[in-house]
Chain A
C-alpha cells in the first residue's frame, strides 16, 4: 500500500489528486473543529449575508453558515463514495472471479446477468427504489453500489482468465491447494490493479450520483447538509445569493476531479508498458 502511494506521489496527476483530496478528508474528519458555526443553527439577523470574515462562504436563507454546511456535507459525500464503491467492488470481484476461474456455463450465465443489469437505466432504477424505500443516505449508498458492480466484474473476469493460465497457478494446483486458496492467494492479488483504477473513478461517479439525488430532494434529507441539497436551496435564490450555489458546486467539482486525477495516476502506475510501473505481473 505504501509502495503504491509513493509511486502515486511521483506521478504529476496522482500528486495533484492527492493534494486536492487530502484537505477534503482532513475537513471531513475534523469537521467539528474546523467549522466554527453550527451547520444547523439558524441566525435570523444574518439571512443571506454575503461571504465575510465570520461567514467565509456566506449564509443561507435561514441564516445558517454555508461554510459549516459544506464542511459537514463533505462527510456525506466521501462516505457515499467509499461505501457504495465498496459494495460494488465486493460484488464485482466475487462475480468476476467465479466467472473467470470456472468458465463454461457458469461464466456464460453470470455474464448474461451482467448484460442484463447493464441494460437497466441506473438513475431511474434508483429513483424507483427510493420511491419504495424511505430516502435515506444508507439506502442510496446500497442502491448505487448494487447498480455499479458490472464494470468491475467484467474487468476482474478478463484479468483472471489471463492469469489462470500462468504456470504459477498450475504449480499451486500441483501443490495440492484448494480452488478457493488458489483464487484468493495467487490469482486475485495479481488481478486487482485495474480494479483500483476503476474503483477510484467510481468514487467520483458515486459522489456525483448522490449529489444529483440530493438535489432532486430524494437523497439526503434536510436539515442534514449535503452538497446536493445545499444546491437545491440555492436554486431558489441564485440571482441574489451566488455564494450559496458556488461553494458546494466547487466542492463537488474538486472532489470528483481529485478522484479522477488519482485514478489517472493509478492507471499510469499499474500500466506495465510505462516506465513508472511498480507492479510487475
Chain B
C-alpha cells in the first residue's frame, strides 16, 4: 500500500491578543509537531476533545490555513513548498466535509450551483453536461433529482450534509478530510451519513481522514486511530490495538466514557516542559513534570507516555 499523505512535524501556533493595546499576547499551540500518514484506501480516525487541535489539523493538511512549520507530502509532492498558484490544480485531489452543514453551504446558492462549482472550476465536464453530472453525484449520495434546484434552507441537516459530501466527491479526490461531519446531526441521521461515508469510500477507492470526538464513530469508520490531546498525538495505532489495549491514560479515559458513560477528570493545569497530559493524569510521576514523552512503539501501536515501560 502506497502512501497518499504523509505529514511531518506540523506545528501551528495562534497568538491571542488580549486587547488592542496589550503588548503581551498569549500563545495557543494548536498543533505541536504532529506527524501522520494516510495509506491508500485507508481511513485514519482522529479523536480528541474540543480544543485538541483536530480541526486545525484538518485545515492545515489541506492548506486552508498555513501551518507555521512542518512538511506535507501529498502523493509525493511537498505542498508547503508550492505557491498558491501551483497548489490550486492539486486541490482537486483533496477535499473536505465540514462539521456544520448550515454554515458550509452558501445560503444564496442552489444545490446545482454548489455542486457544479468545483466541477466547472477544474473543467471536468463542459457546461452543457454539468447538470447531468450533478444529478449523478447527488444520486450517489442519496438525493434524488428534486433536490437539484433547492436552496440550502429548504433542506434538513442530513440532506445538507449529503450536499456537502456531494460537493467534496464531485472532483473525484483521492483524499477526503471529514471534520466532525456527523457531530451536528441527530443520532438516527448520523448512522445514515456514516454508512454513506463507508459506501463512497468503497466505491471511489478514497483515502480518508475522519475526525470526531466520539470514539464509537471512530471505531465504526476507521482502520487506524490517532488520539490527540492539546495539539499533540498521545497515542496512535491500528484500531483493534487501540480499542483492545489502550495504553495512554487519556485514551483509557475516553474509552471509559464511551463504554460506561463515566470517567474521572482531574483539574487541568499547564506546566511548562511537562507532559501535555500532566495536569490531568492520575498516574503522573516525577519524570512527567520535567520531560515531555515522545511517541514510542511499533508501527502498529505507539504511545507518548512514560508509564508504558518502553522507556
Interface residues of A, CB < 8 Å — how many? 17
**In the bound complex, do residue A280 and residue B153 qualify as a contact, i.e. CB atoms below 8 Å apart?**
yes
CB < 8 Å neighbour of B98 from A171, A175, A190? A171
**In the bound complex, do residue B96 and residue A174 qualify as a contact, i.e. CB atoms below 8 Å apart?**
yes
**Closest-CB distance, A259 to chain B (whole angstroms):** 26
**In the bound complex, do residue B96 and residue A170 qualify as a contact, i.e. CB atoms below 8 Å apart?**
yes
The winner among A171, A173, A186 for most chain B CB atoms within 10 A is A171
**In the bound complex, do residue B91 and residue A175 qualify as a contact, i.e. CB atoms below 8 Å apart?**
yes
**In the bound complex, do residue A170 and residue B117 qualify as a contact, i.e. CB atoms below 8 Å apart?**
no
**In the bound complex, do residue B104 and residue A174 qualify as a contact, i.e. CB atoms below 8 Å apart?**
no
A44 to B104, CA, bound (A): 72
Known A170-B96, A280-B153; contact A175-B103, beta-carbon cutoff 8 A:
no
Question: Which residues of the other chain, A, contact B118 by a CB distance below 8 angstroms?
Answer: 175-176
A172 contacts the other chain (CB 8 A): yes
Known A280-B107, A280-B153, A281-B107; contact A177-B121, beta-carbon cutoff 8 A:
yes
Q: Mark A164-183, 1 if CB is under 8 A from B, else 0.
A: 00111011111111100000
Question: Among residues 96 to 143 in chain B, which have CB atoms less than 8 Å away from a CB atom of chain A?
Answer: 96, 98-100, 103-108, 117-118, 121-122
**In the bound complex, do residue A167 and residue B117 qualify as a contact, i.e. CB atoms below 8 Å apart?**
no
Question: Which residues of the other chain, A, contact B121 by a CB distance below 8 angstroms?
Answer: 175-177
Interface residues of B, CB < 8 Å — how many? 27
CB < 8 Å neighbour of A167 from B92, B104, B108? B104
Q: Which residue of A lies closest to B96 (CB)?
A: A174
Q: Which residue of B lies closest to A190 (CB)?
A: B108
CB < 8 Å neighbour of A176 from B92, B99, B164? B92
Known A176-B121, A177-B117, A177-B121; contact A171-B108, beta-carbon cutoff 8 A:
no
Main secondary structure of the interface of A (DSSP, over half): helix
A147 to B255, CA, bound (A): 63
CB < 8 Å neighbour of B106 from A173, A176, A178, A190? A190
CB < 8 Å neighbour of B89 from A168, A174, A176? A176
Question: Which residues of the other chain, A, contact B89 by a CB distance below 8 angstroms?
Answer: 176
**In the bound complex, do residue B104 and residue A168 qualify as a contact, i.e. CB atoms below 8 Å apart?**
yes
A175 to B109, CA, bound (A): 15
Question: Among residues 129 to 171 in chain A, which have CB atoms less than 8 Å away from a CB atom of chain B?
Answer: 166-168, 170-171
Q: Mark B74-105, 1 if CB is under 8 A from A, else 0.
A: 00000000000000110110111011100111
A23 contacts the other chain (CB 8 A): no
A199 to B214, CA, bound (A): 48
A178 to B87, CA, bound (A): 11
**In the bound complex, do residue B104 and residue A176 qualify as a contact, i.e. CB atoms below 8 Å apart?**
no
**Closest-CB distance, A88 to chain B (whole angstroms):** 24
**In the bound complex, do residue B88 and residue A176 qualify as a contact, i.e. CB atoms below 8 Å apart?**
yes
Q: Which residue of A lies closest to B95 (CB)?
A: A174
A189 contacts the other chain (CB 8 A): yes
25 examples of A-B residue contacts, CB within 8 angstroms: A166-B103, A167-B98, A167-B99, A167-B100, A167-B104, A168-B103, A168-B104, A168-B105, A168-B106, A170-B64, A170-B104, A171-B96, A171-B98, A174-B64, A174-B94, A174-B95, A175-B167, A175-B171, A176-B88, A176-B89, A176-B122, A177-B121, A178-B88, A280-B107, A280-B153
Which B residues lie at the A interface, using CB under 8 A? 59, 62, 64, 88-89, 91-92, 94-96, 98-100, 103-108, 117-118, 121-122, 153, 164, 167, 171
Which A residues lie at the B interface, using CB under 8 A? 166-168, 170-178, 186, 189-190, 280-281
